Structure 1
C-alpha cells in the first residue's frame, strides 16, 4: 500500500521573515517555489524546519540566566550526541545537528559576552501569537530572546536565532530579518527599538547582524514583495 502524505493548504498569505528576505532577492522561478512552500505545508518540510528545536530551547534556557553558564552548552551537546546513538534515522541525524548547533553557538562565547553581558535576557514566548501584517501578508518575525537593560522590566532589544548549516545568511538577508523584527516591535508592541539592539545570529556561520540605522529602503522593498505575494496567493496551485 502506498503511503499517503497529508498536506495542509494555508488560506491566508503568510511567510517567515527569512523567506520574505530570500523572496526579495530570488528569481521569478525561485519566487514561485517559495510561495508554493509557504502555501502548501508538507509534513516532511515542516519536520525539517523544526529539527533545531532542541538546540533553540537549550540556548534560550542558557542565556536567559547568564552568559556565565555558556559552557554548559558543551555538556548539552555531548548529551545529545550520546542520545543520537540510541536512535536511528532522522531522529539521530537531528540530534547530531542540534549538538553541532550548540557547539557553534558556544564558539561565539567571547563575542556574545562582550556584546550583551550588560543586558538581561528572557524568553520571548510572552509575545507568542501576536502577528505582523504587511500589505495583507502575515510575516512571522518574532524573535526567541528579549533584551533588557533594566533587569527585565522592559524590552530594549531582541535576538533572533537562525539555523542553517548549508546556506549562511548574507548581509542583506540578515539585516532584512533584523529590520522586519524591529518593525514587528514598533507596530505590534509599540516599541521603537534602537537598530543596534535588534540582533540576528546566524548560529552555524558565527555571524551577528543588526538592523541598519536607515532601513526605509529595505522595508519598502520587502513591503512591495508582500503586496506581490498577496496578489499572487490565490493563483498558486498545488
Structure 2
C-alpha cells in the first residue's frame, strides 16, 4: 500500500485514508492505493465493487464544502458522499459527529415508544422489567460507539431522549426533578455513563504492563 495512505479494516469494512493540504494530492494518493488494491484482488481472484465504494473529504474550508473528489476505481467514478457511515458511525465534513448524534437520538425514540407501551400494561410491567428493557433497548442504542462522539459539542442533544427513557421507568412526570429520577431508577445520568464508557474503552487500549516483575512468582518455602 502507498506510504501516503493509511488503511483500516474491520471484518468486511475497508477504509483507505490520505491526509494532504491539496485536493489533487489526496486524489492522486487514493487513486494509487486503489490501483494497488485492484492488483491484489486480481492476484487472489477477488472482485471489487466500485458501485458500493464511497469517497468523502474532511476539511474546514467552507469554500470547498461541495467540492467533490473525482476518484475512479477500475475506470468507475466513485460516489461522493457527504455523510458516510463507517462501522455504524455517521461521519461529517468537520468531524463534529453532529449527524451521528442526530440519528442516534431518533434511534432512541423508537424503543422509547415500546417502553411507553409496556407501562400501559397492568401485568408484567414492573419497575425491574422496565429498567432492564430500557437498558437493553434504549440505552444500548443511545450509547453505541460513545467513546468516539462523547466529547462532541453536540453530545448534549441526546440527553432529552435518554431522560425520557429514565422518566418512563418509575412513571414520573415532566416536572419531576432529573436527579430524583436517576436515584429512583438506579441509572446514572447520560453524561456520566458516556464518560465511564469512554474511560473503560481507553483503559482497554493501554499497553499491559508486566505486573509480575516486582513479585516473587515462585516463592521458596522457609527452611
* Structures share fold, TM-score greater than 0.5: no
Give 1 or 2: higher strand fraction: 1
State the TM-score, normalizing by the size of structure 2.
0.27
Larger Rg computed on CA atoms: 2
From the two aligned structures, give the one with the greater helix fraction.
1
